[in-house]
Structure 1
Amino acid sequence: MTVADPSTIPVPARRVPTTAAGIALACSAPIWAISVAAVGDHEGFGAASVFGGLAALAFQLSVLALLSVQQRSHAMGAGRVARVGYRVEVVVLGGALVSTILDMFWLVHGSVVWMIFDICWPLSMLGMLIIGIRVAIADRWTGALRWQTLFAQSWLVWALPLGAIPGVGLWGAVVQTILGYGGLGLLLARRQVITASAPVSQNPLS
């Protein structure tokens, strides 16, 4: 009796809905970007900090929804590195969520606890950049969705240089966020479903 190679046994195709995550991203990205421009330099607790915090929380939660879609559709592949990468990014993004709440209510600001969580925000954007590059290389997401994902999740690469250009400053990052994550949200909402399938056993680096 011949035993089939487990690596050749396909997993039944999985249909991953994208509409909810897409709508959330398309709506929250512009609101967060505009809030950064409007109240990003505000210090202290008040209406401005609450508005900015709520906008940031909405965006961060929509990014978590995006990560869920990417993970379930094997956008980076289905190997161990991909699985660990998603888990690490979720943890760091969770720290960024805590940082947003601390800033929203101006809690323990300037303390060691605050600094630990505050660093999670840029680290989470670095993680999204790495995931975006991996999604482009894996080629599981194709066409415009593949490259829009790379453009959106490379926010860190665009935001810092644009912010240093005289006459552009913060508005460059705002526009990139709207075009990047906002545009990615529209593509996901329009696509509605991504069909994903993967073999049971793959190269752990896939």
Structure 2
Amino acid sequence: MSTNASPPSTRTGLPPAALERPTPDPARLVRLGGLAMAAGALAWAVGTVLTYDVDPAGEAYPVAYKVSSLLFQLGLVALVSVQLRTAATGTGRLARGFLHVEHALLGLAIAASLQWILAPGLSENAFFVALDLFWPLSMLGMAAIGIRIAIAGRWRGAARIWPAIAETWALVMFPAMALVSEEASAFVSAGHLLVGYTALGIILAVRPELTLAHG
């Protein structure tokens, strides 16, 4: 009679770390992305209002304003990450590829912002002038994403509609900067950031289930 009381083997061929790795909560990730977006947009809106009377032709923006715009860009990175994770623009290769392209555009725009903060004396350098163009290009890309999300219909309710509202920032601001004064356009920008991206971030943080597939 055997005295071996060892339980039967439960080996699965997987390393222990793989067996114990928890599955990320998709709703929590959406909430975090929404909070990052709301915080970044709010920071830039406040920074824009506080510097409404700065003349960029003859005055330098304070570092706090520059950092607030960087926080907004980082919020956009978080937002696009949420859109990728939830396949907001669709599940096709092209739809997801466009979001990857937007991440790349934002990365280049962030590089330009870091130069503006850390080495403003290089702003007239031809390379950095060209790099700075990725900031408006990235915002135009966000506008296209907002329209695509509304068409795809994978997000529901307010989460489906609000990206198209929030991501028209560039489409609103470019004409505003041409038609009204610098001071007025600053308030237009801040108002749009609050109504658009800040509200969108709050929607994602409060109602993440609107972005997730029906279970």
**TM-score range relative to shorter protein:** 0.7 to 0.9
| Residue range with higher mean Cα deviation, 30-39 or 105-114 | 30-39
How far has the Cα of 1:124 moved from its partner? 0.2
How far has the Cα of 1:187 moved from its partner? 0.2
Counterpart position of 1:161: 175
Q: RMSD of aligned C-alpha atoms?
A: 2.3
Cα contact 2:155–2:212 (8 A) shared by 1? no
Using the alignment, how far apart are the partners of 1:186 and 1:124 within structure 2? 22
Q: Give the fraction of aligned pairs with identical amino acids, expressed as a percent.
A: 34
Counterpart position of 2:36: 24
Counterpart position of 1:5: none
Listed one character per residue, the Cα deviations across residues 20-51 of structure 1 (whole Å, up to 9, x for unaligned) are 111111122121122234346457998x5421
TM-score of the two chains, using structure 1 as the length reference: 0.80
TM-score of the two chains, using structure 2 as the length reference: 0.77
Q: Does 1:174 align with 2:194?
A: no
Using the alignment, how far apart are the partners of 1:78 and 1:41 within structure 2? 45
Counterpart position of 1:144: 158
Matches within 5 A, 1:65-84: 65-84=78-97
Partner amino acid for 1:172? V
Q: Does 1:134 align with 2:148?
A: yes
| Residue range with higher mean Cα deviation, 105-114 or 138-147 | 105-114
List gaps (5 residues or longer) in structure 2. 1-24
Cα contact 1:71–1:83 (8 A) shared by 2? yes
Using the alignment, how far apart are the partners of 2:57 and 2:62 within structure 1? 7
Counterpart position of 2:69: 56
Q: How many pairs are equivalent?
A: 183
Cα contact 1:49–1:103 (8 A) shared by 2? no
SS of 1:59's partner is helix
How far has the Cα of 1:162 moved from its partner? 3.0
Counterpart position of 2:22: none
Listed one character per residue, the Cα deviations across residues 141-197 of structure 1 (whole Å, up to 9, x for unaligned) are 111111111100111111122334447422112100111000001101101343237
Matches within 5 A, 1:177-196: 177-193=193-209, 194-196=211-213
Relative contact order (C-alpha < 8 Å, sep 6+): which is higher? 1
Listed one character per residue, the Cα deviations across residues 111-165 of structure 1 (whole Å, up to 9, x for unaligned) are 1111121000000001001111100110111111111111001111111223344
